[in-house]
Amino acid sequence: MVVSPSTRTIRIGSRKSQLALVQTYWVQEELQKHFPTRQFDVETMSTQGDKILDVALAKIGDKGLFTKELEVAMLDKQVDFAVHSLKDLPTNLPDGLMLGCVTQRVDPADALVVSEKNQDKQLDTLPEGAVIGTSSLRRLAQLRHHFPHLTFKDIRGNVNTRLAKLEAGEYDGIILAVAGLQRLGMSDRIHQVIPAEISLHAVGQGALGIECRTEDPEILEVLKPLEHEETRDRCYAERSFLRELEGGCQVPIGVNTKIENGVLTLTGMVASLDGQRLIKDTVSGLPSEAEALGKELANKVRDAGAGEILSEIFIQVNRQ
Ligand SMILES: NCc1[nH]cc(CCC(=O)O)c1CC(=O)O
C-alpha cells in the first residue's frame, strides 16, 4: 500500500496536567476543523516540572523544566509538535526545534484568588502579614514593591493543587494567571485582576506556543491557520527582551505589550527580590522589528541598573 503524505497521522505532544490537556485538545479541535480529513492524535507525558514538586521553582530555574521530555519526543519523531503555555517555553530552544506557531492570546494579566474569609478584601486592603502564595519571583518582587506589609510564601503544583492549598487554609490569597483560570472554566475564582501598574505579566503569558521540528515543512504548514500575527509579534518582542536579560535562573522580569496603529510598544521591568528596586522602561517601533525592540529595551534597562540586580539574584538563588 502506498501511503500518501497527506494521510500521515499527526501526533501532538502534551503534558498531562488538566490545563495542558485543555490547551492541547483545543489545538487538536481547531486543526481538525481546518483539516477535516487528517488524523490528529494526542500523546501525553510527564515532565520534570510535573515530578519535582518539593523544590522552589526559583532554585531549580525553569529552563525547560516543563518542556524537555516533549522536546526529546519530537527529536525522536515520536510526536510531531508540542503545545505549551508559551510562558513555560524557554527563549532558546534545542537545535532542530523551533517555535512554529503562536496562538491568539487571552488576557495576560495575573489574578488574586482569595480564601473564604477574605472575600471582602483586595490586595490593598489585606491586613498586615496576610499570607500570599506565589512561586514566581516576578509576582513576588512586584507585589512586595507595592505591598510591603504582606507576607509571601512559596506555592507549587498545578492550578488545582494550588487552589486546594488555598482552601486548606495555608494562605490568605494566591496569585494565578487569569488565562489559566479562564481555560479551566474557573473564571469565577478570579477575585481581582491585577492591573499592569502593579504587576507586569510574564513573557508570553496568555498565549500558546507550538514547538515543532525545524525540518518539517508539512507540520509548519498545518500549524499556519492557528498563528495569530499580532500575538506572535508581541510575544517575539517579549521573548527577545527576556532572552537578552536572563542569566541561567528564573528572574523577576515582567512585560506588557500592545500594537496600536501599526506600532508595537513594549514595556519591561526588572525588580530586586525584596521589591526595593524596580527598573522599568518602554520602547516602540514596527512589529516586524519585534526582536530588535526586545534587545533595545534590554540594553536600556541593563544600563539603568537591571544588570546589577540580575547578577545579585543569580548569586542569591544559587547560594540558597
Ligand atoms: N507556570 C505555570 C503556568 N503556566 C501557564 C499558566 C497559565 C497561564 C498562561 O497560559 O500563560 C500557568 C499557571 C499560572 O501561572 O497561574
Q: From the CA atom positions of the chain, what is the Rg in Å? A: 20
SS3 state at 238: helix
- Write the residue with the smallest CA distance to atom 8 of ligand 1: 180
Q: What is the mean pLDDT of residues 251-271?
A: 97
Which helix H or strand E contains 57, and what residues bound it?
helix 57-60
- Write the residue with the smallest CA distance to atom 15 of ligand 1: 177
Active site residues: 88
For the record, the C-alpha cell of 19 comes out as: 490545563
- What's the CATH number for 110-193? 3.40.190.10
- Does residue 98 register a pLDDT over 90? yes
Give the Cα separation of 133 and 165 in Å (integer).
Answer: 9
- The ligand 1 atom at the shortest distance from the C-alpha of residue 23 is 10
> What percentage of the chain exceeds 70 in pLDDT?
93
Q: What is the pLDDT of residues 216-248, one digit of tens each?
A: 999 999 999 999 999 999 999 999 999 999 865
Top CATH class, 1-103+207-227:
alpha beta
pLDDT attached to residue 284: 98
Give the Cα separation of 186 and 58 in Å (integer).
Answer: 27
Report ipTM for this prediction.
0.95
Q: What are phi and psi of 20, to 5 degrees?
A: -60, -40
- Does residue 45 register a pLDDT over 60? yes
Give the Cα separation of 219 and 212 in Å (integer).
Answer: 8
**Residue of 139, 205, 234, 250 with the most ligand 1 atoms within 8 Å of its CB, for mutation:** 205
CB-based pocket (< 6 A), ligand 1: 85, 87-88, 159, 176-177, 179-180, 205-206
- The ligand 1 atom at the shortest distance from the C-alpha of residue 180 is 7
pLDDT attached to residue 182: 98
Q: Which CATH architecture has domain 228-320?
A: 2-Layer Sandwich (3.30)
Residues in the chain, overall count = 320
**Residue of 26, 87, 155, 176 with the most ligand 1 atoms within 8 Å of its CB, for mutation:** 87
Residue ranges of the chain that CATH labels 3.30.160.40:
228-320
Helical residues (DSSP H) of 175-306, grouped into ranges: 178-183, 217-223, 229-245, 290-301
Q: What are phi and psi of 114, to 5 degrees?
A: -110, 160
What is the dihedral sign for C-alpha 305, 197, 201, 135? positive
| Nearest Cα to Cα of residue 71 among 13, 116, 124 | 13
* pLDDT mean across residues, the chain: 93
Given pLDDT bands bounded at 50, 70 and 90, which one contains residue 58?
low
Distance 23 CA to ligand 1 centre (A): 11
Strands 10-14 and 151-153, how do they pair?
unpaired
pLDDT attached to residue 124: 94
For the record, the C-alpha cell of 50 comes out as: 510535573
Whole-number Cα distances in Å, 273 to 58, 129, 270 = 11, 18, 10
Q: What is the mean pLDDT of residues 144-171?
A: 95
Distance 159 CA to ligand 1 centre (A): 8
Q: What is the mean pLDDT of residues 246-264?
A: 89
Give the Cα separation of 150 and 83 in Å (integer).
Answer: 36
The pTM for the full model equals 0.93
Q: How far is CA 283 from the centre of its chain?
A: 22
Distance 153 CA to ligand 1 centre (A): 18
SS3 state at 309: helix
Amino acid (1-letter code) at residue 168: A
Residue ranges of the chain that CATH labels 3.40.190.10:
1-103+207-227, 110-193
Q: What are phi and psi of 201, to 5 degrees?
A: -80, 170
